[in-house]
Structure 1
Amino acid sequence: MAGCTGDGGDGGQDTVPGNDFPAVDDWLTETDVGGADDTYEGTLVDLRDQDTVTIGVGTEGNGDDFAFGPSAVLVSAGTEVVWDWTGDGGRHNVEAEPDDQLGESDYEFSSGEPTQSADTEYRRTLDEAGVVLYHCEPHLSVGMKGGIAIE
Structure 2
Amino acid sequence: MQSRLEVTRRTYLWLAGLVPLTAGLAGCSEGGDDGGDEELSGEDYPAVDEWLTETEVGGEAPNYDGTIVNQREQDTVQVDVGAGEDGIAFEPAAVSVSTGTTVRWEWTGEGGAHNVVAAPDDQIGESDYEFSSGDPVDEEGETYEETLDDAGIALYHCEPHLSVGMKGAVVVE
Give TM-score scaled by structure 1 length.
0.90
After TM superposition, give the deviation of residue 26 of structure 1 in Å.
0.6
2:82 aligned with 1:58:
yes
**In terms of Rg, which structure is larger?**
2
Matched-pair contact (CA < 8 Å) for 1:19–1:25: yes
Whole-Å Cα distance in 1 between the matches of residues 62 and 149 of structure 2?
A: 29
Residue equivalent to 2:125: 103
After TM superposition, give the deviation of residue 100 of structure 1 in Å.
1.2
Q: How does 1:120-131 map to 2 (within 5 A)?
A: 120-131=142-153
Whole-Å Cα distance in 2 between the matches of residues 19 and 129 of structure 1?
A: 18
Q: Deviations over 1:11-34 (max 9, x none)?
A: x93100001111111100010010
Residue equivalent to 2:37: 13
Whole-Å Cα distance in 1 between the matches of residues 142 and 155 of structure 2?
A: 20
- Whose relative contact order is higher, 1 or 2, with alpha carbons under 8 Å and at least 6 apart? 1
Residue equivalent to 1:117: 139
Whole-Å Cα distance in 1 between the matches of residues 166 and 101 of structure 2?
A: 22
Q: Deviations over 1:74-99 (max 9, x none)?
A: 00000000000001100000000111
Matched residue of 1:60: which SS?
coil
Aligned CA RMSD, in angstroms, stands at 1.6
After TM superposition, give the deviation of residue 4 of structure 1 in Å.
7.0
Q: 1:37 aligns with which of 43, 50, 61?
A: 61
Give the letter for the 2:68 counterpart: L
Matched-pair contact (CA < 8 Å) for 1:4–1:15: no
Whole-Å Cα distance in 1 between the matches of residues 51 and 169 of structure 2?
A: 7
Whole-Å Cα distance in 1 between the matches of residues 69 and 47 of structure 2?
A: 15
In proportion to residue count, which structure has more strand? 1
Structure 1 runs (4+) deviating above 2 angstroms are none
Q: 1:48 aligns with which of 53, 66, 72?
A: 72
Matched-pair contact (CA < 8 Å) for 1:4–1:16: no
Unaligned runs of 5+ in 1: 6-11
Unaligned runs of 5+ in 2: 1-28
Whole-Å Cα distance in 2 between the matches of residues 4 and 16 of structure 1?
A: 12
After TM superposition, give the deviation of residue 101 of structure 1 in Å.
1.4
Matched residue of 2:82: which SS?
strand
Q: Give identity over the alignment, percent.
A: 59
Whole-Å Cα distance in 2 between the matches of residues 13 and 77 of structure 1?
A: 18
Residue equivalent to 1:92: 114
Give TM-score scaled by structure 2 length.
0.78
